[in-house]
Amino acid sequence: MRIVFAGTPEVALPSLNALVESDHAVVAVVTRPDAAQGRGRTLRPSPVAARAAELGIEVLKPKRPRDADFVARLEELAPDCCPVVAYGALIPQHVIDIPRFGWVNLHFSLLPAWRGAAPVQHAVIAGDQVTGACTFSLVAELDAGPVYLTLREPIAPDDTAGALLERLSHSGAQLLLETIDGIASGNLQPQPQPAEGVTFAPKITVADAELDFAQPAVVLDRRIRGCAPAPGAWTLFRGERFKINSASLSEEQLAPGELQVTKRSVRVGTGAGALELGLVQAQGKKPMQAADWARGIQLGPDEKLGE
């Protein structure tokens, strides 16, 4: 089939690579416009745009998928199907209708659970034990289209959202390729999503990543892992933002926010149980092990995290 692939971040790269190596013809790539990055705010292409340039594939960067120039070029390209992975913008119905087999979205959840921008992060924060990936036919309603294929993936007790998404990006790429093959052969038909079990997974904001030490340690551990690597869970220390990039459960009994510092460990109390801090980052500093951070401060007797 003639394919125009849509995607933007690194998580879309395994799918692009799998399609390029397949028998299908990737005739163009659609991605979000270049974005300002780094201290110099230099405009840089998305990972998908950079990879497409390496491969010599035409790159389309519309500000909006409804832009007339983009729609005209997509019609000229006459794709049979448009696979999409984390593109980052909603596709209007008249653009969905251009390829004869529509747009096929790879989504990282077991739909209809966790429709939206951050399904993996929400699955970890909610304490789900299993997640997965689905391919479905894109419709105007958010992640509500009929599903072609599904795979399941266990969530390990120490999984971060980043590690889980990395695994799903590779297994999901094969699922997407299998789906495109099935559509091309005429042997695969999508099935409607169940009406029950719909949940939503909006983007995780910095405000969402704040830790409340009145909550149990197990809940805070999930939030830390669900917010890693971005935006990163945080609290306050001495009135400044203090990131906690990793932690583990501890049997210590400490008051919420209370710090217990030993030569090799730093523990903090919660509403139930405690956390042993791993990698932390004080404001204006580089990430470091919690014990190294604690050696660099003089901790007062009543100082707590969260204040």
Q: Which residues are annotated as a binding site for (6S)-5,6,7,8-tetrahydrofolate?
A: 109-112
Bind-site residues? 109-112
Report the distance separating Cα 64 and Cα 251, nearest Å.
52
Cβ contacts of residue 64 below 8 Å, gap of 6+? 70, 89
* Residue 261 φ/ψ, nearest 5 degrees: -110, 125
* Amino acid letter for position 119: P
Reference 16, options 63, 45, 50, 67; nearest CA is 50
H or E stretch at 174:
helix 161-185
Q: Quote the DSSP letter at residue 110.
A: S
What residues have CB less than 8 Å from 307, skipping those under 6 apart?
236, 237, 238, 239, 257
Q: CA-CA distance, 307 to 302, in Å (whole number)?
A: 11
Instruction: Please report which helix (H) or strand (E) contains residue 18, including its range.
Output: helix 13-20
Peptide bond into 146 cis (omega under 30): no
- Closest CA relative to residue 32, chosen from 8, 5, 66: 8
Q: How far apart are CA 300 and CA 297, in angstroms?
A: 9
Q: What is the pairing mode between strands 147-154 and 266-269?
A: unpaired
Question: How far is residue 134's CA from residue 110's CA, in Å, rounded to a whole number?
Answer: 6
